[in-house]
Amino acid sequence: MKAGKRIGPIVAPLGDSAVLLSVSDGMDLDANALARRVATAIRGRRLEWVTDVIPALVTVAVCFDARTAREAAERRATLERVLLKAVERGTGAQADLPARTVEIPVCYEAAFAPDLEEVARRTGLAAARVVELHAAAPHRVLMLGFAPGHPYIGGLDARLALPRRASPRARVEAGAVAIANAQTSIYPFATPGGWNVIGRTPLVLFDPAREPATLLEPGDRVAFVPIPRGEFERIAGERGAR
Amino acid sequence: MDPVSHRIANALVGNTAEAATLEIALSGPELLVGRDALLALYGARFGAEVDGAPLPQSRPVLARAGTRLRIGRVSAGSFGYLAVAGGFDLAPVLGSRSTYLPGAFGGWRGRALERDAVLPFAPDAEALAAARFGRATRGRRAIAAGRSETVPWFVPALSLPEHEVPAVRALAGLHSGAFDEPARAALFAARWRIAPESNRMGFRLRGPRLELTSPVEILSQATCLGTVQVPPAGQPIVLMADHQTTGGYPKIAEVIAADVPLLAQLPPGAALRFAPATLDDADAAREALAARVDTLVQRIRWELGDESA
């Protein structure tokens, strides 16, 4: 399974209650954009027996409800047809969809960046240069996944490409901005995590009372804006006072 | 975790499936019933007591205000569901009344109940209890249970294991081809044990180490309820109700939907084996389970004197 090799779109059952469309074998931005377009198209069909649509880097899963065996077989066949048609329509479309830019204020100061020094050491760059490169690059949300509102953001400067930490941290704080695997992620909740934490945002990534609940959507452009600690506290404080 | 038991618990007090029940894992709380209420405990079996007498399970119980309910420790299965006529009065979040512990939202304040927690009944719980219990006992004798009363019938368990090492049916996963032949054979031949560090997100299994033929690079993709993924250590994890939406570990198998309730009822330390199934087997099993649930719900509605049954 080598990355980069293109295959035709494939639809396969994912368990007995979902199907998975793969548009490519390897990660590339066109395949990612196509997966997002297909997901939007399937949601737009509003099939009442579809329970979830899960776009990822180069795949789209569609979960469905069925009661009888006949219903299940028919729905799988319908989804295969609808997904392949959406791929066909999406492939000719403009490679890049219009996207909004979301500014994410990030405090990169030591208190919020437990792995910044190590990232600097491993990349041979000064810590300030790591921050500069991270904030300067044009980032893009490739997918949401794992936990509610958790973004996988592409566009990391190649000089910052590092694997995950050898041993995961037992606790990564909510809002932690972390890099690994040529991507950036932001932890919506305090959880264990293995990515290299280089800063923290005071923004809330997932709020079930907000509409939409997620701060970011797949396809969004992201601009990381360095802020000092005082500004972090001010934004976090406003949030608390609301 | 066990949607079938949640559904039947609700049916036993005359509710539809959307009403919130209290899920009780392995060991239950002591509860003070604040107002007259029609309750039912179904799913796992507990050494439960009502005002010091054994609490009749798997049937509706009219509990009077001031009744003490001690759920106690589980004796069979893992997850019990306490339903109340009218449901617990909780606002849906993102279309659900269930609790999501990792995100601390949904259900009761996004948390497990704690000492002195007050879990509200629906405003009309008392009226519903009187009306539904009255209908259920019309022309029949109610049975005393402490100061509470119950009916002379109960319903069987639908998702409790019947064998010491139950078989959980599973389909080959999308990446089963990436595992070596011994691993694929071992998945279905071995006796697996549910590890204590299992939770609502996933059941970790202990057994033979499952090896890949060569390292695979899988781009993060969707995972499902019942997905059996294998991290590098080679010990599989079955994804359960609170599972992550995506993951990058290879998927060796997928538990069929019809066997998820059975799997959910296996407590930490319990043994299981996987039985190979085809997609046709899975679809037929789901249809058969849906029919069993519907038949039981119909029977309960008839016993409760529901006019539409």
Tens digits of per-residue pLDDT, A162-202? 988 877 788 899 999 999 989 999 999 998 888 999 999 99
Q: Identify whether residues B129 and B181 lie together within a single domain.
A: no
Please identify, among B159, B175, B205, the residue that sits at the C-terminal boundary of a domain. Answer: B159
Is B21 part of any domain? yes
Is B11 part of any domain? yes
Q: Identify whether residues B33 and B153 lie together within a single domain.
A: yes
Q: Identify whether residues B102 and B185 lie together within a single domain.
A: no
Residue A238: its H or E element: helix A229-241
Q: Identify whether residues B228 and B80 lie together within a single domain.
A: no
Q: Identify whether residues B176 and B155 lie together within a single domain.
A: no
Please identify, among B127, B159, B191, the residue that sits at the C-terminal boundary of a domain. Answer: B159
Q: Examine the pLDDT at A240 and tell me if it is beyond 70.
A: no
Instruction: Find where tokens 């299981």 sit.
Output: B272
Instruction: Find where tokens 């950036």 sit.
Output: A184
Contact yes or no for B246 and A73 at CB 8 A: no
Q: Identify whether residues B81 and B217 lie together within a single domain.
A: no
pLDDT digits (tens, 9 = 90+) for B224-251: 999 999 998 899 999 999 999 999 899 9
Cβ burial of A133 (10 Å; 0-12, 13-18, 19+) is middle
- Give B307's contacts (C-beta < 8 A, 6+ positions apart): none
Q: What phi and psi values does residue A67 have, to the nearest 5 degrees? A: -110, -55
Q: What tokens appear for A118 in the block?
A: 């190590």
Q: Identify whether residues B175 and B145 lie together within a single domain.
A: no
Q: Identify whether residues B181 and B133 lie together within a single domain.
A: no
Is B287 part of any domain? no
Does residue A212 have a cis bond before it (omega within 30 degrees)?
yes
Name the A residues in 77-116 with CB < 8 Å from any B CB. Answer: none
Return per-residue pLDDT of chain B as tens, 309 residues: 999 999 999 999 999 999 999 999 999 999 999 999 999 999 999 999 999 999 999 999 999 999 999 999 999 999 999 999 999 999 999 999 999 998 899 999 999 999 999 999 999 999 999 999 999 998 677 787 778 999 999 999 999 999 999 999 999 999 999 999 999 999 999 999 999 999 999 999 999 999 999 888 788 999 999 999 999 889 999 999 999 999 989 999 999 999 999 999 999 999 999 999 999 999 999 999 999 999 999 999 999 998 766
Which parts of A107-187 are beta strand (E)? 139-144, 151-154, 169-172, 176-180, 183-186
Contact yes or no for A208 and B178 at CB 8 A: no
Please identify, among B109, B135, B159, the residue that sits at the C-terminal boundary of a domain. Answer: B159
Contacts of B171 in chain A (CB under 8 A): 13, 15-16
What total of structural domains would you count in chain B? Answer: 2
ipTM, 2 dp: 0.94
- Looking at the complex, report in whole angstroms how far the Cα of residue A54 sits from the nearest Cα belonging to chain B: 6
Q: Domains in chain A, start-ordered, CATH in brackets?
A: 10-91 (3.30.1360.40), 101-241 (2.40.100.10)
Is B195 part of any domain? yes
Query: Counting one residue from A and one from B, how many pairs have CB atoms under 8 Å apart?
Result: 112
Q: Which of A12, A26, A54 faces B245 most closely, judged by CB atoms? A: A54
Is B286 part of any domain? no
Q: Identify whether residues B39 and B184 lie together within a single domain.
A: no
Is B28 part of any domain? yes
Q: What is the CATH number of the domain that holds B202?
A: 2.40.100.10
Q: Identify whether residues B101 and B185 lie together within a single domain.
A: no
Fill in the DSSP letter of residue B186.
Answer: H
Is B80 part of any domain? yes
Q: Identify whether residues B67 and B142 lie together within a single domain.
A: yes
| Residue B258 structural domain | 167-277
